[in-house]
Amino acid sequence: MATIFDVARQAEVSIATVSRVLSKRDPVSDEMRDRVLHAVAQLGYEPNRAARTLRTLRASKILVTVPDISNPFFSNVIRGAEAAARAAGYSVVLGDTRHDPALENQYCAMLRQREVDGVVFLGHRLPDALQPLVAERGAQAPVVNGCEYSPDLGVSSVHIDNAAAGMEATEHLISLGHRRIGVITGPLISPISRDRLEGARQAMKRRRLISGLSTGNGDFSVESGYRAARTLLETERVTGIFCFSDEMAIGAMKAVRDAGLACPRDVSIVGFDDIRFASFLQPALTTIGQPMTEIGKRAVGILLQIIAGKRTRKSITLAHELIVRESTAAARPR
């Protein structure tokens, strides 16, 4: 999509000249006016919107990038982000990056081209396209991370304490008498996976049960949860499984059934996120609830304050909640 700056380039005039022509505030020569309007027509640019953007130096849009739009966790975060943006008079441009760095950079180039005023990215990686801006402007760069947290990113963020959440989920299984516990992680390149795993390990160490902890790796999807759970059930004979997403927990439930076992009679399962399907499963899923909508709202709130010049770098940790339902029960010998 052409930008206002493309209009100036096409017409071979300055940005200020384009502004004067489109706003009709200051006189310009007929030749200049014709060149600008011809460029606008060629590029398909809408003059009134262009004039507004040039007058305010803002697009009144923010970009939200999400690594996997099919994950229901992110849909709730996006809903919160959109509500906060709309309330402030901004529109949201949504980018589904599919964990692809090239797509991340393609979307984030919109900030450099001034097609959006700021970016909220929901993945663990600061896109290459944003790194020069963050290095140059530091806390004043209009870039905020949602869900993940790493001080190395150098940007404001909104998240939960994933290590504490991982510890709480594991301690719940321990309190029910489980001593052989399997953990199904997300990709360990992600800080949230590493933090949740560390929390689980700390819980087992505190009870001197670390030898009873087994790990399997997933990618937060149902399918990966199923595969990892099958392996844990067959090779480790675990009686409790802690999954780092509710989707993986759903896959683990099927793996338990396919192994001829029952949840929670033979194997207790804990998920993470509390997506809207969690309470409707059979059995209803015990999980760590995240304030998904609030994460989106707070991330956009910080971003808008940065855009307005009122905010420096900030890290916000929101509360999580262990929600005990029917998928966990006292351990029985297998």
Which domain CATH number covers 128? 3.40.50.2300
Q: Which residues contact 3 (CB under 8 A, 6 or more apart)?
A: 113, 114, 115
Same domain for 79 and 144, yes or no, is: yes
Give the three-state DSSP class for 103: helix
User: Per residue in 249-307, pLDDT tens?
Assistant: 999 999 999 999 999 999 999 999 999 999 999 999 999 999 999 999 999 999 999 99
Mean pLDDT of all residues belonging to the chain: 92
Same domain for 285 and 143, yes or no, is: no
The angle formed by the CA atoms of residues 67, 159 and 314, to the nearest 5 degrees, is 110
pTM as predicted: 0.82
Q: What one-character-per-residue DSSP string does 53-66 give? A: HHHHT--SEEEEEE
Asked if the model's pLDDT at residue 50 lies above 70, the reply is no
> Would you place residue 112 in the very low, low, confident or very high pLDDT band (cuts 50, 70, 90)?
confident
Mean pLDDT lowest among 1-5, 37-41, 80-84, 121-125: 1-5
Asked if 270 and 240 touch (Cβ cutoff 8 Å), the reply is yes
| pLDDT number for residue 297 | 97
Same domain for 300 and 267, yes or no, is: no
Count how many domains the chain has.
3
The answer to whether residue 69 is domain-embedded is: yes
Percent of residues, the chain, with pLDDT higher than 90 = 74
Which segment, 95-109, 112-126, 201-215, is predicted with the most confidence on average? 201-215
User: Per residue in 66-106, pLDDT tens?
Assistant: 999 999 999 999 999 999 999 999 999 999 999 899 999 99
The answer to whether residue 300 is domain-embedded is: yes
| pLDDT number for residue 325 | 98
Asked if the model's pLDDT at residue 311 lies above 90, the reply is no
Mean pLDDT lowest among 37-41, 89-93, 106-110: 37-41
**HSE of 135, CA atoms in CB hemisphere, 13 A:** 7
The parent domain of residue 30 ranges over 4-56
Same domain for 93 and 148, yes or no, is: yes
Same domain for 156 and 296, yes or no, is: yes
> Would you place residue 26 in the very low, low, confident or very high pLDDT band (cuts 50, 70, 90)?
low
User: For residues 299 and 39, which has the higher predicted lDDT (pLDDT)?
Assistant: 299
Same domain for 153 and 70, yes or no, is: yes
Same domain for 184 and 278, yes or no, is: yes
| pLDDT number for residue 57 | 60
